[in-house]
Amino acid sequence: MRKWIGIAAGVGLALGVAGQAVAAQPSEQQVRQLFEVMHMSQMFSQMNSQMAGVMGQAVPCVPASYWQGFIDANGSQELLGRMVPIYQSHFTADDVAGLLKFYQSPLGQKVITQMPLTMAEGMKVGQQWGRERGQAMIQQLQQKGTLDAQGRCPASPAASAPKPVSKSGH
C-alpha cells in the first residue's frame, strides 16, 4: 500500500512540476517585445494627443500644447515598465509567445491599426444607444407617473408639507 501511495505522490509531484513549467511567467524582455509589436508607445502618443485636446477645452486658460508632453518618451517608458508586471501576472510565457506570433502576423497588425478606430466608432454607437435607451426608459416612467414631465420625482406629500418649527426657534 505504501508503495502505491509513494508512486501516486511521485506522479502527482511530476505532473505538478510539469504544469508549473507550462505556466511559466513571461520575462520582462518578452513582455516588452509584445508591447513593441503592439505599438504601445504609439498608442500612448495618440492617447496623449486626445487628452491634450480634452484638457485644452476643460482648462482653456492653459494652452493645449502644455498637455501634449504629458506622456513624453520618458513617461511612456515609465508607464510601460509599470505595465510589465500586470502582463506577467495575467499571461504565461506561452500566452505571450502566442500573442507575439499573432500580432506579428498580417491579421494581428490589422487588429492593431483598426482596433482604435473600431473602438471609437463603437463608443459613439454605444453612447447614442445609451441616450436613446435612457430617454425611452424615462418616457416609460413618466407615463407610469413615477417621474413628472421634467423627468424628476414628483413631490411626495411629506416633502411638500411645511416643516414644523422647533420649540427652540431653530
| pLDDT given for residue 149 in this prediction | 87
On average, the pLDDT of the chain sits at: 82
123/8: higher pLDDT: 123
Q: Read off the pLDDT of residues 9-51 as tens digits, 9 standing for 90 and up.
A: 555 545 555 454 558 999 999 999 999 999 998 888 888 888 8
Could you tell me the three cell numbers for 20?
508549473
Q: Is 159 helix (H, G, I), strand (E, B) or coil?
A: helix
Q: Read off the pLDDT of residues 117-160 as tens digits, 9 standing for 90 and up.
A: 898 899 999 999 999 999 998 899 889 988 888 888 987 655 45
State yes or no: pLDDT of 99 exceeds 80: yes
Contact indicator for 30, 93 with CB cutoff of 8 Å: yes
72/93: higher pLDDT: 93
Q: Read off the pLDDT of residues 66-75 as tens digits, 9 standing for 90 and up.
A: 888 888 888 8
Residue spans of the domains in the chain: they are 23-104, 112-145
Q: How confident is the model at residue 1 (pLDDT cuts 50, 70, 90)?
A: low
